[in-house]
């Protein structure tokens, strides 16, 4: 199995938070966030993601998400799904992700991988994905 490292950036196009549960007794609020974004670099394409986030009164947050990416990696085209987990601390968003096994379509059938992302709040994210094909 040969692994390849993809790097690039993500630019957020839409960011739509919707609170769904107010924190009890000063605890964190629970928020659903719908995001569309553009991948650039070794991964080219569009992403649509839904996050569930725990938002703390001090501005910190913890989140999980599932994202469908439509585009290309290494010249191969199709779709795949990333599962994300991350945090927001001191205006820095960071996290890890992996390709959901079996989610690749088209030329991306059999795609597997893991990586991560980091960004200053409001800026493009720097991304990595170490990937391979089954």
Residue-wise pLDDT tens digits, 35-48: 999 999 999 999 99
Supply the pLDDT for residue 122: 83
d(CA 104, CA 72): 11
Supply the pLDDT for residue 26: 84
Mean pLDDT (the chain, rounded) = 96
Phi, psi at 58, each rounded to 5°: -85, 5
d(CA 16, CA 18): 7
The residue behind tokens 């070794």 is 42
Structural domains of the chain, with CATH? 4-133 (2.40.350.10)
Residue-wise pLDDT tens digits, 77-104: 999 999 999 999 999 999 999 999 999 9
pTM of the model: 0.94
pLDDT of 1 strictly over 80: no
Q: Give the residue, 32 or 24, on which the prediction is more confident.
A: 32
Supply the pLDDT for residue 108: 98
pLDDT of 11 strictly over 90: yes
Mean pLDDT of 65-70: 98
Q: Long-range contacts: 105-108, Cβ < 8 Å, 24+?
A: 105/78, 105/79, 105/80, 106/76, 106/77, 106/78, 106/79, 107/72, 107/76, 107/77, 107/78, 108/73, 108/76, 108/77, 108/78, 108/79, 108/80
């Amino acid at each position: 199995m040969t692994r390849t490292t993809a790097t690039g950036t993500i630019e957020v196009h839409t960011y739509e938070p919707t609170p769904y549960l107010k924190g009890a007794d000063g605890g964190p609020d629970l928020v659903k966030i719908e995001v569309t974004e553009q991948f650039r670099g070794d991964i080219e394409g569009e992403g649509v993601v839904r996050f569930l986030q725990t938002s703390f009164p001090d501005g910190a947050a913890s989140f999980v998400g599932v994202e469908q990416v439509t585009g290309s990696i290494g010249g191969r085209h199709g779709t795949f799904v990333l599962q994300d987990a991350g945090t927001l601390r001191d205006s820095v968003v960071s996290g890890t992700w992996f390709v959901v096994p079996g989610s690749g379509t088209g030329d991306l059938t059999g795609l597997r991988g893991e990586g991560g992302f980091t960004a200053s709040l409001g800026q493009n994210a720097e991304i990595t994905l170490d990937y391979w094909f089954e």
